[in-house]
Amino acid sequence: MTLRILLLGKIGQLGWELQRTLAPLGEITAFDYPEVDFSHPSTLAQVVQAAAPQVVINAVAYTAVDKAETEESLARAINAAATGELAQAARKAHAAFLHVSTDYVFDGRKGSPYVEEDTPHPLNVYGQTKLEGEQAALQAGGAVVILRTAWVYSTRRDSFVTKVLGWSRNQSELRLVNDQISNPTWARMLAGITALLLAKSRGDPFGYLDERSGLYHLAGDGYASRMEWAQEILKLDPNPEQQTARKLIPANTSEFPTPAVRPLFSALNCEHFTQVFGLRLPPWQLALRQAMDPLR
Ligand SMILES: NC(=O)c1ccc[n+]([C@@H]2O[C@H](COP(=O)([O-])OP(=O)(O)OC[C@H]3O[C@@H](n4cnc5c(N)ncnc54)[C@H](OP(=O)(O)O)[C@@H]3O)[C@@H](O)[C@H]2O)c1
């Protein structure tokens, strides 16, 4: 089996992992800004047409959650309009479209992990534009699978993990919020499960995903607060002797005002994905252990 895959966003946390993980599946054409510019959505159909792919994977997003509050039209072009254009172009090319969305489509008030049937209610521009992207992709029709994930991290790009390690080396105590809760998700594991999902299509991704089109929650198994996540990061630090922080102090989100309001409990329930695809991401602590292993 060799698939022709068009991967957009090859330099991002997820896209970089996808580029290496998908390689055994076939021929990957991969782009990022400025080779493709999602702020000009109408340019994207031509990119899809030229690649003549069997699968289009969109790992591009405007992910600067706070900045999006003042760059709403740019965030909307990249997260919503461009997603719709790609989904339509994929359908016309008879290619499956795999897209990634976020737990920030929810307001965090449910109090237990969200399932796909729960009604979204974004609290910020990023979440709103990502929700519009989901809707545009589904409206386009064709073989569209949207993977809603949460708290994505990698150790090669700026992420919560690298930030906590950095703070632990230049502060004597760390104040971390313990009322924001979701599923830490290692970008490499998410890329791995995407590759397995495509491998299951046995050379016919359009047919396989057309039968399973829709929205799925897919994130690290289990959930944690930012404080619990940070505790685990510091525990697994391969160079703990470099830490200067001696104390972790729990704090409330209200103590750290940010331009964008974030949902408090946005953990995702991923059972539906497991039922349909027979795959699941491992517990978030196990993935973090592997991500932080210096020999990996
Ligand atoms: N990070 C999270 O915590 C999180 C949580 C839930 C869901 N997600 C979703 O997961 C997916 C992957 O996220 P990620 O963390 O891998 O994001 P990321 O690291 O921020 O990567 C996004 C990619 O999009 C590219 N990009 C931005 N603007 C562009 C434009 N105008 N034209 C073309 N490319 C552009 C970025 O390029 P530059 O680096 O040059 O800007 C980057 O390569 C996204 O759909 C995101 O919404 C992320």
Q: How far apart are CA 192 and CA 200, in angstroms?
A: 13
Provide the annotated active-site residues.
Answer: 126
Give nearest CA residue, ligand 1 atom 4: 152
Question: Do residues 29 and 53 make contact, with C-beta atoms less than 8 angstroms apart?
Answer: yes
Pocket, ligand 1, Cβ cutoff 6 A: 9, 11-15, 32-33, 36-39, 59-63, 78, 100, 102-103, 130, 149-152, 157, 187
User: Which DSSP state fits 43?
Assistant: G
Three-state DSSP at 139 gives helix
Q: In 3D, which of 211, 204, 206 has the Cα closest to residue 277?
A: 211
Query: What size, in residues, is the chain?
Result: 296
Question: Do residues 186 and 272 make contact, with C-beta atoms less than 8 angstroms apart?
Answer: no
pLDDT of residue 129: 98
| CATH match for 3-158+183-223+267-282 among 3.40.50.970, 3.30.300.30, 2.20.28.10, 3.40.50.720 | 3.40.50.720
Angle at 93 between CA 91 and CA 98, to 5 degrees: 55
pLDDT tier at 1, thresholds 50, 70, 90: low
For CA atoms 226, 230, 236, 239, the dihedral sign is positive
Q: In 3D, which of 114, 226, 230 has the Cα closest to residue 167?
A: 230
The residues, any chain, with a CB within 8 Å of residue 246's CB and separated by 6 or more, are: 172, 173
- Give 292's Cβ-side CA count (13 Å radius): 24
What are the boundaries of each domain within the chain? 3-158+183-223+267-282
| Mutation choice for ligand 1 from 16, 32, 193, CB with most ligand atoms inside 8 A | 32
E-only strand ranges, 154-281 = 173-177, 181-182, 185-186, 214-217, 224-225, 247-251
What are the structure tokens assigned to 107, written together? 């307001």
pLDDT of residue 36: 97
Specify the ligand 1 atom closest to the Cα of 77: 31
What are the structure tokens assigned to 175, written together? 């104040």
pLDDT of residue 30: 98
What are the structure tokens assigned to 99, written together? 């897209």
pLDDT at 3 over 90: yes
Least confident of 49-58, 223-232, 245-254: 245-254
pLDDT tier at 295, thresholds 50, 70, 90: low
pLDDT at 132 over 90: yes
Cα of 33 from ligand 1 centre, angstroms = 11
- Give 62's Cβ-side CA count (13 Å radius): 31
Neighbour-count burial for 69-92, b at 16+ CB within 10 Å, e otherwise: beeeebbbbbbbbbbbbbbbbbbe
Q: Is the peptide bond before 34 cis (omega within 30 degrees of 0)?
A: yes
pLDDT, tens digit (0-9, with 9 covering 90-100), for 211-247 = 999 999 999 999 999 999 999 999 999 999 999 988 8
pLDDT, tens digit (0-9, with 9 covering 90-100), for 82-118 = 999 999 999 999 999 999 999 999 999 999 999 999 9
Cα of 61 from ligand 1 centre, angstroms = 4
pLDDT, tens digit (0-9, with 9 covering 90-100), for 135-189 = 999 999 999 999 999 999 999 989 999 999 999 999 999 999 999 999 999 999 9
